[in-house]
Amino acid sequence: MNHVPAFGVGTFRLQGQVVVDSVRNALEVGYRAIDTAQIYGNEAEVGQAIKEAAIPREQLFITTKIWVDNLSSSKLIPSLQDSLRKLGTEQVDLTLIHWPAFQNVALEEAMTALAEAKAQGLTRLIGVSNFNIDLTQQAIAAVGKSEIATNQIELSPYLQSPKLVSFLQSQNIDVTSYMTLAYGKVLGEPVIAQIAQNHQATPAQVALAWALQRGFAVIPSSTKRENLASNLLAQKLQLTDSEMALMAALERNGREVNPEGLAPLWD
């Protein structure tokens, strides 16, 4: 399977026992894809939750991301090996470059090191995160289009990034949406509330269903077991064409994550 699972659980900003409980609850209610990152500082706790859940490793899809300090050819693989130790696994399913902030490292060097990590069996798939069109094209030039499983980017009904999404889909690179609920801001959107009412669904389910129908993978997080279970039901929700058109009209370039020194010039 060279594709990213459509539905996973995110762990951004979750620490300590909170992330252990969140991941364990997610696995118990049916999630099988888990997204973490070196900079989150929770890989060991994610690994603990996975171990405690005792689900066969082959049923899980584990993603981590290489932090910007570890992008050189001398640091990337050792840093990934450290992540594997923390996660308690010999191989992750997907490893991403977290932000295209290459500092004193060339993009080609980082992508080549990432491809070497895959060749060594440390990761089954590789990809990128927060890359714009130009940087994605450079990544393709470095390792080949077929090597890049996904570009994980911020997407929500308020930030639809049509140019970047169209480019990625034209290249058969999976689009993974993070911040799909825009830090919860879309949950108070009247248009979404009305669509939710139409389907006896929650606003969160509507936003996630919108992303799924656009062909995006989603990785929402929650510390509440009932929300984790509720979010999963978005997979069964089918929005009508007119509802999808209403969702499309919510675009407002509402970017929530744009860290100076890390983020590229967005398309």
Strand residues in 111-234 grouped as ranges (E): 123-129, 148-154, 174-178, 217-218
Whole-Å CA distances, 168 to 26, 125, 137, 227: 29, 17, 10, 30
Looking at the chain, how many residues does it have?
267
Q: Which residue among 31, 40, 158, 178 is the active-site one?
A: 40
C-beta separation of 178 from 219 below 8 A: yes
First CA to last CA across the chain, in angstroms?
Answer: 30
Task: Please name which of 216, 264, 221, 266 lies closest in space to residue 244, comparing C-alpha atoms.
Answer: 216
Cα distance between residue 35 and residue 152, in whole Å: 11
Compute CA distances 151 → 15, 46, 178, whole Å: 25, 22, 10
**Secondary structure, 3-state, 59-89:** HCEEEEEECHHHCCCCCHHHHHHHHHHHHCC
Residue 77: CB atoms within 10 A of its CB come to 18
Any catalytic annotation for residue 40?
Answer: yes
Residue 98 known to bind ligand: yes
Q: Which of 121, 112, 129 is nearest to 173 (CA)?
A: 129
Query: What 3-state class would DSSP assign to 34?
Result: strand
Binding residues, by number, are: 98
Residues belonging to the binding site for substrate are: 98
Catalytic residues: 40
